Structure 1
């Protein structure tokens, strides 16, 4: 078997002891890079493919230790005494992060080899075996690093680890299959099944964006044709898809493709502080989080179709 342990990927987080990313206790590997820009994204640090600096202004004391540490001279003190960072000059080298005494700075993104990832995952084998858990690769969009994902998944299967992929499905088929070939379960993030609505979340020209949803749907059809286990996951966002029509369209497509489970996830604002650290505009700051009980009518609507439905996670 080809040695792919030296293949590298851009990882922004590895979270252990997760219970909502597949069966049992899981370790989730989060990769950077995504072609979508959902306003409710709880991991905005995942959207860009490269490393980037996060600055938490609520922790910064403007002590200035980072100013002299920056080899790019990207950090300076403004006239009002505030320490500022010129992101056009910042190389995300991490020098300011290491010297900051208040932990107000962090680097989002780290290059890791498949071998390094596996060394960490093997330490969690006892939890996987006892709980029926395993490894989930998420993002960002994992399909943008398809060769890396395939190599990680293949190594996991060689160690008898359960594998899951969390994806929005917006990728060409070759990349999607690379990610899913060694995958036991695919968690598909179904945002909306209305083409124009979906297109507003994607990049590119209008013709490309209007075709994006069909790419996703065709990937789901192709995976089901290969008898892959697919679960739909729907974040319910007020004013975007919090209506019975969205639930009906999702259940209809589940029945068409033979998908038997739909997970409903209520909108929350857990990632709000990350937008500020990246100087990104968070447009949903005035939208209240959804209590889980408000999704119960949608759950009943789905279950009446003979489908399994969970709320929360």
Structure 2
């Protein structure tokens, strides 16, 4: 199935087309862009909301992300928000809808471009007012296509080069993260698991790869090109998760993840775990991580996964 899906995505990209009915936006009406020009000239990151249900796997273009945020959503499930600054893959997805918590996470970047399938009607005005460039299918239909290899809504993909001519570079990653040699201390750790009510993430240290292998719901996480998903650094950030004012059609309220403030975190790098403190004073700030002696925690070079876990 992985090979067939990869071939189907490649064919869709080569043809430059969607399926017959085109992208379906779950929050906005479609308004096709006639010029097809890039909407961003670089300078800030591209953030893409990615489906993470079992039907959405394996993912496409996830390994090229600089940062992957994991957030809780309705029913104890999770969604990913992948942030791109150094590389833009040919396709990314499956793309799904935005949540209110995304707006706070993205405030740390300078007018980021947000690619998402849509949002709840009451949330759309907040997205429109947020300091970002919203690019759902209704606004950028030429940047999206649907794969015939999967059923909707798990088949919407993004062509990132239709939104951004080139990646902005590492200077756009205004996250507060610091990279460098590992600090003293930490404890040898082979695996770390984070559980939500209906989702589970496991990070397993690979000595040969010198990376953390990502697992989702007791299965190895991979991409449609047959590669494993791996992280250089994993941050399990303990935050307050409260009920927002938004809910889905079944009445399940959307969790709101508070990423401004301070608290505890666990940083995984080089096969060791470090218990640290995190601090983000205001939305426009990045997040700093400090060890017990008050020094900044250095991350390993490579992709960073930030998993928001409920502190309570």
Verify same fold: TM over 0.5: no
Higher strand share: 2
TM-score by length of 1: 0.28
Q: Which has the higher helix share?
A: 1
Bigger radius of gyration = 1
**TM-score, length basis structure 2:** 0.28
